[in-house]
Amino acid sequence: MDIQRDHARRFETRVRQRAATGLSRPPVGADDVEDACDVAAARFRALDVPAARLNLALLNALHHRWAGAVRPDTSMFTLLFTRPGETGYAFSERVEVQWETEGRVRLALVRDVPHRGLERPGGRVTVAGDFTRPENALPALEALLLQLATPDEA
């Protein structure tokens, strides 16, 4: 937990420093969920590979229902979802979406487990995960997102 608090403090400092310089857009790791959606979509829109196209389609399909409930982030061609207030790199739980091959997408719910002594170190643990075909990725992803948050029913 101390590591996460330290990361959050450093992040807040960077946000304040950037705001003080008058830059118009917050950094990529901003806590603003809408900005995070825009940044993730723009990143994948700029790439013409199957993984980026799938991730962009998923972001677009999820946006209306999940916009305020989860925060997207990216790591190369991996799409990450966390709760608002967390990032894909400083999280207690996140959902990962990764294109593996033409017909296979890996989905996982991952928790960051605290250290439990010298004999039982903590770290990232996959709680639930599966593989699916790209055309079935949306309902499978939503099932995992329900472990993080409740969608907006607008």
Per-residue pLDDT tens digits for 41-93: 999 999 999 999 999 999 999 988 898 889 999 988 999 999 888 887 888 89
Alpha-carbon distance 59 to 40, whole Å?
A: 8
| Helices within 84-149 (DSSP H only) | 137-145
Range of the domain at 94: 29-145
Q: Is residue 84 part of a domain?
A: yes
pLDDT band at 29 (very low <50, low <70, confident <90, very high): very low
Q: Is residue 105 part of a domain?
A: yes
Q: What is the pTM of this model?
A: 0.73
Express each pLDDT in 100-146 by its tens digit: 999 999 999 999 888 777 677 778 889 999 999 999 999 999 999 99
Domain count, the chain: 1
Q: Is residue 1 part of a domain?
A: no
In the DSSP assignment, the letter for residue 119 is S
Q: Is residue 128 part of a domain?
A: yes
Q: Is residue 106 part of a domain?
A: yes
Q: Is residue 11 part of a domain?
A: no
Q: Is residue 89 part of a domain?
A: yes
CB-CB contact of 78 with 97 (8 Å): yes
Q: Is residue 19 part of a domain?
A: no
